Amino acid sequence: MTNPFLRPFVSQLKNFATLSDLEGLFPRREFELLKDAGFLQMPLLKDPFAFAPLQTRRLLDILKMIGSASLPAGRIYEGHVNALQLIDLFGSRSQKDFYFSEVFKNQSLFGVWNTQDGDGVKIKEAGNGQYLLEGSKNFCSGAGWIQWPLITGELILKGGGGWQICVIPAEKMKDVLVDSSAWKPLGMRASVSYKMNFSGIVLDQKDLIGPPDAYYRQPYFSGGAVRFAAVQLGAAEAILEETHQFLRENNRADDPFQKVRTAEIACLVETGNLWINRAADMTDAWIWSPEQNEKLTAYINMTRTVMNDLCLKSMQLSERSVGLRALMQPHPLERIHRDLTTYLKQPGPDAAMASVGNYVLGQKGISTLWK
């Protein structure tokens, strides 16, 4: 549950989230609040600039807290954290210094745009250390507001190439075509996850982060799922809180059926917290045993799957308890239902569980599975 000192902050974020729940609105006030409170630079260290190591629990607590108030803000903040981590993992010393000082000095917002359709991004060598971009990215959260997006694309080189991460310099973002026409989702409207066309943008060598195929390196790629799971868990906590408040305020808390359903939601939320905390501890412990890549990847894949299921169950139980009002504006549960249903859609859920099965069946026995 939210740290009591942060309650006024969270309730302010919640108020803003209600106002931002409109077509085409970026959660601007939410991000002003987050910036003023220092959240954009929170994952970083200065002197030398770096992504703060061994802080996963703290980071996941923050993601959960933001998610409990606003899933769109949580999604965009999660993308910012993801981008900073990728720069830390694969960027050069001078890239880290440049981009991380942007966060400290200018409170710049970063994001990661990887998803694409058939018209995805190609990065073509153009000579003199320059690269020409062609193609689009889909579901770019914070479109038009992220100053420094990390995008991925197929690097086309003579005799090589691969899936390349690059940063679009802030001053070139005005030349990127934004297409909001297809973003008509059930929820998460304020994440403004539009399609962006990068054709014609020219990048320099310094804008490329890491070698080709770094993006999918494990356990970082699948391990990142623990961050969206934490944001989703925040919404499950908000469901418990709203249900609890509704039942007490409407004198329905003495009913035995309502007690059982509330207990079930409380169990689910606590289950989520236990999983997230264990996943955080395993992530930080992994640094000392990098040979356990596969184990960590499987554990995070289990965590995201459990989180998905418990969020769905919490929504259903809460709707039974509160009834129609949970599905009617202006009740907060109505917005949480739309946003969470949408945000639970994450890539490759079957593949995530298949990889867990693959890991478990690949072990000689099960006695030391997660030790």
Ligand X SMILES: Cc1cc2nc3c(=O)[nH]c(=O)nc-3n(C[C@H](O)[C@H](O)[C@H](O)COP(=O)(O)OP(=O)(O)OC[C@H]3O[C@@H](n4cnc5c(N)ncnc54)[C@H](O)[C@@H]3O)c2cc1C
Binding site for ligand X (CB under 6 A): 75, 79, 111-115, 139-141, 188, 191, 193, 342-343, 345-350
Compute CA 4 distance to the chain's CA centroid, rounded to the nearest angstrom.
24
Give least dist CB 76 to ligand X, A.
8
Contact criterion met (CB below 8 Å) for 191 and 72: yes
Measured distance CA(371)–CA(368) in Å, rounded: 5
Instruction: Output 136 or 262, the one with its CB closest to ligand X.
Output: 136
Give least dist CB 245 to ligand X, A.
26
Residue type, 151: I
DSSP conformation letters of 118-170: TT--EEEEEETTEEEEE-EEEEETTTTT-SEEEEEEEEEETTEEEEEEEE--G
Give least dist CB 131 to ligand X, A.
20
Instruction: Output 161 or 185, the one with its CB closest to ligand X.
Output: 185
Cα-based distances in Å from 90 to 199, 208, 250: 25, 10, 54
Give least dist CB 236 to ligand X, A.
17
Give least dist CB 226 to ligand X, A.
15
Contact criterion met (CB below 8 Å) for 202 and 131: yes
Give least dist CB 162 to ligand X, A.
18
Q: Name which of 316, 298, 309, 304 is nearest 361 in CA terms.
A: 298
Measured distance CA(60)–CA(280) in Å, rounded: 8
Coil, helix or strand for 196?
Answer: strand
DSSP single-letter state for residue 52 = P
Residue 165 is encoded by which pair of tokens? 């991460």
Give least dist CB 71 to ligand X, A.
8
Instruction: Output 68 or 321, the one with its CB closest to ligand X.
Output: 68
Instruction: Output 155 or 317, the one with its CB closest to ligand X.
Output: 155
Give least dist CB 346 to ligand X, A.
6
Backbone phi and psi for residue 97, each to the nearest 5 degrees, phi listed first: -60, -45
Measured distance CA(140)–CA(112) in Å, rounded: 8
Helices 71-90 and 332-343: crossing angle in degrees, nearest 10, is 30
Coil, helix or strand for 287?
Answer: coil
Residue 340 is encoded by which pair of tokens? 């969470």
Give least dist CB 72 to ligand X, A.
7
Coil, helix or strand for 43?
Answer: coil
Residue type, 169: P
Instruction: Output 271 or 346, the one with its CB closest to ligand X.
Output: 346
Residue 230 is encoded by which pair of tokens? 């934490």
